[in-house]
Amino acid sequence: MPTISITRPHSLSHKAAKDAATRVVDDLRKRFDLACEWNGDEVTFDRPGVSGRLHVGRDELAIDVRLGLLLGALKSTVEREINAQLDALLPAPAKVPDRKVAAKTAKAPARSVAPKATPAKPAARPAARKPAARKTSAKD
């Protein structure tokens, strides 16, 4: 059985993350006619050919989907749709710059980079001369 597993970090409050998860589940429920049931921070969904769960964590959402044989052929489409929903509803968490990388970039002087010179093409070799054809005289 083909499976899809996606874990997406978030920087939302728990309530906001659960609201976003509810919107994702509602959209998937409508598109794929899923039966959904919430149990705390986890929702399970099911229908013939599709089953899975979505867990709302403190700092991430995790979704696992199992596809049947027929929908397995559409795995990449289903995965793309789930990712699109998550992208639309979850802002990317703020990245904290690495101190070592930040220190190196701050100390590095600005340099202009000249394009590399391309090597000249070697001159074409002259065509080899063919020896002149010999004239033969026909003796009568």
pLDDT tens digits, one per residue of 26-66: 887 887 788 999 999 999 999 998 899 999 998 898 999 99
According to the model, what pLDDT value does residue 62 have?
Answer: 92
111 domain residue, yes or no:
no
Higher-confidence residue of 125 and 87: namely 87
121 domain residue, yes or no:
no
Q: Which domain holds residue 66?
A: 3-89
55 domain residue, yes or no:
yes
17 domain residue, yes or no:
yes
122 domain residue, yes or no:
no
85 domain residue, yes or no:
yes
Average predicted confidence (pLDDT) for the chain: 77
- CATH classification of the domain holding 59: 3.30.310
Which residues share a beta bridge with 53? Answer: 44, 64
According to the model, what pLDDT value does residue 110 have?
Answer: 54
According to the model, what pLDDT value does residue 78 have?
Answer: 85
- Provide, rounded to the nearest whole percent, the portion of the chain with pLDDT above 70: 64
Number of domains into which the chain is organized:
1
Rounded to 10°, the helix 14-32/75-89 angle is 150
- Cβ partners under 8 Å of residue 71, min gap 6: 2, 49, 50, 78
73-77, 91-95, 107-111, 134-138: least confident range: 107-111
Distance of CA 51 to the CA centre of its chain: 24
103 domain residue, yes or no:
no
8 domain residue, yes or no:
yes
CA distance 40 to 57: 11
